[in-house]
Structure 1
Amino acid sequence: MSEDILGKALLDYHNLKYTEDIITISSLDEEDRLPLPYMFRSFEQMPLLEQIALEHCKGMVLDVGCGAGNHSLYLQNKGYEVTGLDASPGAVSVCRQRGVLKTIHADFLSLDGQQFDTLLLLMNGIGITGKLKKLDTYLNQMKRLLRPNGQVLLDSSNILYMYESDEEDGGYWIPQNVDYYGEVTFTMRYKNEVSEPFDWLYVDFNTLKRAATFNGLHCDMVKQGENDDYLARLTFL
């Protein structure tokens, strides 16, 4: 097993050593390719939900799971004070080399002593929660990091469609070993190295809204996507 697969791949691409993409293998028995050029996309190349989220940012911004720094750089160039946060040391290194002025290499739950006007969690950034039962913990951390009039902007997807049955009567087949159908386990493979398995959460909007309300947050749908995805905004009640 290898650590920081994502960081190694991002550093390779940034240093002009791009020869292959990251392969992701999920508990849904699916293998997919994560193209490294996509991780360095411009604003014009971003999906509509990401573009809308960036246009809704305000004040001091924390870019959670900043990756290669695309969102941070766009906002920084627009005059925002942005901090890029990532648990991957390689990703943080790439952000710094690309010109992101403020970066933090840390786990989201460990962050303390700072507050922001906008928390930005894009590319299904809420996925870091891993399991639905941990969502309350992450929402309360968001509350601690938000200023009184602050906001959280996040996108996610309802992946129930992936469990549609092939039977004529329709319905869904959901594994018994998960508490919620949006809980997925991934591993990454890159240049013959394989990551440790990690949990990732896809949360449907209604479930997110119920959890937000329970934890003292208001949840609005900013934009519904075309592929069971959405952009949501969380604020204090």
Structure 2
Amino acid sequence: MADIFGIALLDYYHGNYSEDIKTHSSLEEEDRIPLPYLFRSFEEMPQLEQKALELARGEVLDIGAGSGSHSLFLQEKGFQVTALDSSKGAIEVCKLRGLQSVSQSSIMDHSGRQYDTLLLLMNGIGLAGKIESLEGFLLHLKSLLKPDGQILMDSSDIIYMFDEDDDGGFWVPGNTNYYGEVTFYLEYKNDKSDPFDWLYVDFETLKTHCEKVNLDCELVISGEHYDYLAKLSVKT
């Protein structure tokens, strides 16, 4: 798969910004990810992300770190933080921006260490791909936690994207197991990624799947547009 994110992040870092990443999904028309947004400061981050960074403690694994903005903030605060991303270009940008600990890997291939805090921001739970994979994904995250560790993640309930009928129900296509399953591909400078699955999870569904793998799931804060921040921890 073309490293769309990595190529775009490197372009922006080196001052070659001429266009944004285009996103195409099974749910909506073409959208864009503005590259400057991926290099935002703490003050420019949404409230959910700011709250997650304020709650971080101990040794931190930033999953899907991208350009490393969250990791950089924590490193500057004195945290021991590792930025993890499967994108070679993203990890190169993290290094260029001064991050001391990075790992180029998918989260499912990352093992052997445990952390006090796992961060999955910008809907990092989407890496699970499908609802049927969510419990296995959560079990793997659980294996990366120290006994009193925590998972901080945000997601969105995208039911609002579907048509509502007069009775308050929603018209959801029958070709998926769960309405939060979306297929994407990315485009940048006429190069396209392969299609990939991404998962948006409403809070109650997340909580149900957490219970099945013996994780507590706490709603920390709700955002302004069907989004939320959750804290997961091992049940004692």
Query: 1:80 is paired with a residue of what secondary structure?
Result: coil
Q: Are the aligned partners of 1:164 and 1:170 in contact in 2 as well (CA < 8 Å)?
A: no
Corresponding residue of 2:3: 4
Pair 1:179 & 2:160 matched = no
The percentage of aligned residue pairs carrying the same residue is 56
The separation in 1 between residues aligned to 2:229 and 2:116, in whole angstroms, is 18
Shift of 1:168: 4.7
Structure 2 unaligned residues grouped into runs of 5+ = none
Can you give the 5+ residue segments of structure 1 that lack an aligned partner in the other structure?
none
2:32 paired with 1:30: no
Match of 1:92 in 2: 91
| 1:97-136 map, 5 Å | 97-136=96-135
Residue 30 of structure 1 deviates from its aligned partner by 2.0
Residue 42 of structure 1: aligned partner:
41
* Rounded Cα–Cα distance in structure 2 between residues aligned with 1:169 and 1:59: 48
Residues in 2 aligned to 1:124 and 1:95: alpha-carbon distance in whole angstroms: 20
What one-letter code is carried by the residue in structure 2 that aligns with 1:212?
C
SS at match of 1:186: strand
Q: What per-residue deviation string (whole Å, max 9, x for no partner) do you get for residues 119-165 of structure 1?
A: 00000010101100000111111111000000000000000011123
The structure 1 segments of at least 4 consecutive aligned residues displaced by more than 4 Å after TM superposition are: 167-170
2:152 corresponds to which residue? 153
TM-score when normalising by structure 2? 0.98
Superposed displacement of residue 226, structure 1: 1.4
Q: How far apart are residue 172 of structure 1 and its match?
A: 1.1
RMSD of Structure 2 on Structure 1 (CA): 0.9
Query: Aligned with 2:220: secondary structure?
Result: strand
CA distance in structure 2 between the aligned counterparts of 1:172 and 1:137, rounded to whole angstroms: 29
Provide the C-alpha distance between the structure 1 equivalents of 2:28 and 2:223, rounded to a whole number of angstroms: 25
SS state at 1:99 partner = coil
- How far 1:171 moved relative to its partner? 2.6
Partner-residue secondary structure (3-state), 1:128 = helix
Which of 228, 231, 234 is the matching residue for 1:233?
231
The residue number in structure 1 matching 2:18 is 19
Aligned mates of 1:114, 1:170 — CA distance in 2 = 47
Count how many residue pairs are aligned between Structure 1 and Structure 2. 235
Aligned-residue offset at 1:209? 0.4
Distance 1:39 1:52 in 2: 18
SS in 2 for 1:135: helix
Conserved 8 A contact 1:86-1:106: yes
